[in-house]
DNA sequence: ATCTAAGTTGAACGGCGTACAGTTGTCAAA
DNA sequence: TTTGACAACTGTACGCCGTTCAACTTAGAT
């Protein structure tokens, strides 16, 4: 009975029955313990979910910061993130509810992205905006990839079709970001008091 | 004590304390009634949330289908949707959880959008994809507009800055959609068995 | 005056996350 | 070998949740 065992059982519950099935009581039952025992290994259910989230992000394949093609590297990074998220669709709503993960892996990915964007000449305010756009697009697509979204089309598109659609629109966004770096490229006093 | 009164009180609770504060018991208390009374006017809490969602969508300003500038009309439609959603940020997580509203107003907006896209030459599979991209972008931005999203930047951007960022990236997406209609413009037997 | 149907209520069910006091088992220090 | 500290675990319970059901009230139609 360890922290890791709890996480693993939680993941199993999530896969088998979705978020609704992940209950401290069900979790305890699966581990053959009483519910309160879990609190010796997990601070709270919220913390447990955060741990699951960050574990998920650990599976994202990260490009090298010095990749010769920064824009392509970013595309690959987002594609990998998308793949990881859609592979575990049950966690995505949790992700949204938390307003984005804040664990060490999330931070690492964010910094890597900033580095790659900077190599494209996108930094400062523009960098923050660009990261936001890309993350919204990726998480949003992952979150809504299995729904029919409004009228008609009762049959949601296949996973492969969704992925193609994701990559295509991701390309549009990257093109826009690259075409308009809009960066205040001179750091220092020039941008100190600009909001 | 009517359906409308319940909805109104629910909205008030939502504004005052977020989703967590919207409880059947709290709702009943605010209306000076016992909790079970609510079930004479509302089928379930889920249905109540759906009603709130669709009510929200009723506030979206819709362009005319025969607007001389379809692309601009779509941009306006998404901008209005974004404004409405960000004005009631508490409902956006609910929106996400429901995987997009399915009420009559949502259907109406979806159909209007399809009509406008069609006038841009985007129809069929491409139309569905385009609608998906635009909805993801809009709802995603509204959902994540108040978070810091990963590393750094403890101060989230202001509402106006977020809106500018939203509109700018929306423009990139619309440009991509318009530049590559990718439509199978000949309906009929040619595309019957193409999945 | 009587019947009916809608609105409301008290009480309860089962489930949730979680707290607290007490029991067990393990293992180092005496 | 005994003792004692400490971590893991349990029984029990609290307060919350959404929801149901039989009973009661009451307004309007017959």
Residue numbers in A near B134 (CB within 8 A): none
**A24 contact to strand C (CB, 7 A limit):** yes
Q: Is B115 on the interface with A (CB under 8 A)?
A: no
Q: What is the pLDDT of residues A14-34, one digit of tens each?
A: 999 999 999 999 999 999 999
**A167 contact to strand C (CB, 7 A limit):** no
**A125 contact to strand C (CB, 7 A limit):** no
Reading chain A (195 residues) residue by residue, the pLDDT tens digits are 899 999 999 999 999 999 999 999 999 999 999 999 999 999 999 999 999 999 999 999 999 999 999 999 999 999 999 999 999 888 887 888 777 778 899 999 999 999 999 999 999 889 999 999 999 999 989 987 765 555 455 566 678 889 999 999 999 999 999 998 775 544 444 443 433
Partner residue facing A169 (CB), from B101, B110, B133 = B133
The tokens describing B135, both together, are 């909805």
Inform me whether the pLDDT recorded for B189 exceeds 90. Answer: no
What is d(CA B79, CA A172) in angstroms, rounded to the nearest whole number?
19
Q: What is the pLDDT of residues A51-68, one digit of tens each?
A: 999 999 999 999 999 999
Q: Within 13 A of B114's CA, how many CA atoms are on the CB side?
A: 15
Task: Look up tokens 């929200």; give the residue.
Answer: B56
Sequence-distant (6+) residues with CB within 8 A of A79 are A166, A167, A170
Q: How far apart are the first and last CA of chain B?
A: 50
Inter-CA distances, B5 with A111, B39, B49, B58, B124, Å:
48, 13, 14, 17, 42
Q: How far apart are the first and last CA of chain A?
A: 50
Task: Tell me the backbone φ, ψ of residue A133, rounded to 5 degrees.
Answer: -60, -45
| Closest CA relative to residue B177, chosen from A176, A68, A74, A13 | A176
Inform me whether the pLDDT recorded for B16 exceeds 70. Answer: yes
Q: How far is the CA of A2 from the C1' of D5 (A)?
A: 22
The tokens describing B193, both together, are 């068995």
| Residue environment code for B144-160, b if the CB has 16+ CB neighbours within 10 A, otherwise e | bbeebbbbebeebbeee
């Amino acid at each position: 009975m360890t922290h890791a065992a709890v996480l693993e059982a939680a993941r199993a519950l999530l896969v088998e029955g979705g978020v609704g099935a992940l209950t401290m009581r069900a979790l305890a039952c699966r581990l053959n313990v009483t519910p309160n025992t879990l609190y010796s290994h997990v601070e709270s259910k919220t913390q447990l979910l955060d741990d699951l989230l960050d574990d998920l992000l650990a599976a994202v394949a990260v490009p090298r910061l010095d990749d010769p093609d920064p824009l392509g590297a970013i595309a690959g990074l987002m594609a990998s993130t998308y793949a990881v998220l859609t592979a575990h669709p049950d966690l995505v709503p949790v992700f949204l509810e938390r307003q984005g993960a804040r664990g060490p892996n999330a931070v690492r990915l964010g910094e890597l992205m900033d580095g790659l964007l900077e190599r494209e000449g996108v930094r400062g305010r523009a960098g923050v905006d660009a990261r936001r756009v890309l993350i919204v697009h990726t998480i949003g697509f992952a979150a809504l990839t299995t729904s029919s979204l409004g009228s008609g089309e009762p049959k949601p598109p296949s996973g492969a079709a969704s992925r193609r659609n994701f990559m295509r629109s991701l390309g549009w966004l990257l093109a826009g970001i690259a075409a308009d770096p809009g960066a205040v490229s001179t750091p220092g006093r020039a941008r100190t008091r600009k909001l």
